[in-house]
Structure 1
Amino acid sequence: MPPVMPPVAMSAGPGPRPLLVATDLDGTIVRSDGTVSARTVAAFARVEAAGARFVLVTGRPPRLMGGIAETFGHRGAAICSNGALIHDLATGKVVEENPIPVPELVEAAQRLRAAIPGLGLAVEYAAELAADPLYESGDWDADVEIDRIPDAELFGRPAPKLLGKHPELSADELLALARPVLDGIVNVYHSNGTRLIEVVAPGVSKASALAALARQHGIAAARTVAFGDMPNDLPMMAWAGTSYAVANAHRDVLDAADQVIGGHDEDGVAAVLERLFA
């Protein structure tokens, strides 16, 4: 875990209120016990009551969004799988998909295996997970049966996300090894410290999906605020007019954010929204 930084003093500040609020889930508004507090839910209701919009932006696939959808009343859409999927929280269906094309998927898998011996690979869809024999299941995979299939089938169709998990190397170490070999082919991030990296199609990120959503509603980046805690949040936070890192965030996120706020277990995001939408 990165060192916890004390939150800076915050005020709503001059200028107009945001028109769009984008937030990561795990480690940002989802607490250590896996819940979203009533205070946080009420804060996002305050955003809507003021006439602004909010969107949940996560590395989670849609299959892990059921509890979140229920918490927020099955309203609106969520950007899932680091921007690869747009998930309708009301219907539970994927309404847009930006998968990794097969040639890039095959090339990325080959390069990762060559650069990082012992790396297990999996392909994650909206509701399915398939993997090679080396891929280790974990907490995020507990709800789904993993299909162990040969490479020709595993990499034979476009996929929203390619996962790489190593038995020993940390997520930061994996990312440092993967970025140089995947540069120009696909985008690679990590969203936790569990020896896992996440690969999406070229041009796809939390930022690309958020920017597309903002354009649909005529909202400029300058009128958008974004909250996050992990490296996969950095593109979204860089795009938004104002970015906030929770105090428990990864060091790279703490360094990049415009403001550091209270941690996820302290309802830091809710505290900011209460001030912005007082």
Structure 2
Amino acid sequence: MTSVTPRLVATDLDGTIVRSDGTVSARTVAAFDRVRRAGALFVFVTGRPPRLMRDIAEAFGHHGLAICSNGALLYDMSRGEVVGENLIQPEELVEAARLLRTVIPGIGLAVEYAEGLTADELYEVGDWDRDVTIRRVGDSELFRHPAPKLIGRHPTLSADELLALAAPVLASIVTPYHANGERLVEAIATGVSKASALRELADRQGISPVGAIAFGDMPNDLPMLSWAGTSYGVANSHARVLELVDHVISSQDDDGVAEVLERLFPEVDLAGADR
């Protein structure tokens, strides 16, 4: 474990600090409050769009920043506003959709925005979509505007299988990845990732990778985990994450991230003395 107090703490949400029942423990909230009071920057780095960040912002007292949509959007949780974006352009959406439909027949496609979702008739509603009314539109409308993310869901193929088919044909147009096992493949603008967005933010704060730690659980976390000076994977992580990280910690349901932060950021009183 790193012995130097980090200047930047970056963590994925779902599967990492959000428990399998969808809650965030009081222990985890308290651990991130230690980070804030120590003067370090903490950033949530997630595949979620901003519309799904309201419960997280509430749990953490509307403190901190969130890199959303896998790096496409920067969201200020104190203001409840998107303050930065890296979008897929319409012509790229059109070509990526054409290729996905060619190599993965039967795939349904959707375009996700900060606060909404549009989709074709084949796109199957998933758990993350149940909070929003999906607009079913034709291709001319579906791909008309720049967007943070393109999503594909298949009736039977797993996320790993979808990514294996999509990555070879999409890599020069958009950045494909997957974040869960819901028969889902996703794509963001080329060159964009959790790592690229985190690196831009760290550069503006004068923080090098050596001063950063990162926590994650899924393949879309790998660029971020590789960038950070010290990386941690929760015990329930995807096998590729467990192979890469510097340290494997307790699972999402056992507050593994909080356990590490409690060690790295010991409690201090208002005078600065250790408790």
Question: Which residue matches 1:150?
Answer: 138
What is the distance in 2 between the residues matched to 1:269 and 1:184?
35
Matched, 1:62 2:50: yes
Matched, 1:94 2:82: yes
Provide Cα deviations, 1:54-82, integer angstroms capped at 9, x if missing partner: 00000000000110000010112210000
1:244-255 to 2 correspondence within 5 Å?
A: 244-255=232-243
Matched, 1:107 2:95: yes
- Paired letter, 1:214: A
Matched, 1:173 2:136: no
- Paired letter, 1:209: A
What is the distance in 2 between the residues matched to 1:149 and 1:130?
7
**Offset of residue 48 of structure 1:** 1.5
- Paired letter, 1:55: V
1:29-40 to 2 correspondence within 5 Å?
A: 29-40=17-28
Question: Which residue matches 1:5?
Answer: none
SS at match of 1:67: helix
What is the distance in 2 between the residues matched to 1:90 and 1:274?
24
Matched, 1:79 2:64: no
1:184-199 to 2 correspondence within 5 Å?
A: 184-199=172-187
- Paired letter, 1:198: E
Matched, 1:267 2:235: no
Provide Cα deviations, 1:220-274, integer angstroms capped at 9, x if missing partner: 0111000000111011101111110000011111111111100000000000111
Matched, 1:235 2:244: no
What is the distance in 1 between the residues matched to 2:171 and 2:38?
42
Structure 1 unaligned regions, length at least 5: 1-11
Tell me if structure 1 keeps the 8 A contact 2:42–2:65.
no
What is the distance in 1 between the residues matched to 2:71 and 2:99?
23
SS at match of 2:141: helix
What is the distance in 1 between the residues matched to 2:35 and 2:163?
35
Q: How many residues align?
A: 266
Question: Which residue matches 1:8?
Answer: none
Question: Which residue matches 1:277?
Answer: 265
In the superposition, the TM-score normalised over structure 2's length comes to 0.95
Structure 2 unaligned regions, length at least 5: 267-275
What is the distance in 1 between the residues matched to 2:231 and 2:186?
22
- Paired letter, 1:83: G
Matched, 1:216 2:204: yes
Matched, 1:201 2:189: yes
Provide Cα deviations, 1:19-43, integer angstroms capped at 9, x if missing partner: 0000000000000111110100111
Percent sequence identity over aligned pairs: 68
Cα RMSD for the two superposed structures: 0.8
With a CA cutoff of 8 Å and minimum separation of 6, indicate the structure with the bigger relative contact order: 1
What is the distance in 2 between the residues matched to 1:144 and 1:13?
42
Matched, 1:127 2:115: yes
In the superposition, the TM-score normalised over structure 1's length comes to 0.94
- Paired letter, 1:112: L
Tell me if structure 1 keeps the 8 A contact 2:109–2:122.
yes
Tell me if structure 1 keeps the 8 A contact 2:2–2:230.
no
What is the distance in 2 between the residues matched to 1:84 and 1:183?
16
What is the distance in 2 between the residues matched to 1:183 and 1:139?
27
Structure 1 residues 187 and 260 mapped into 2: Cα distance closer, same or farther (>3 Å)?
Answer: same
Question: Which residue matches 2:272?
Answer: none
Question: Which residue matches 1:6?
Answer: none
**Offset of residue 197 of structure 1:** 1.0
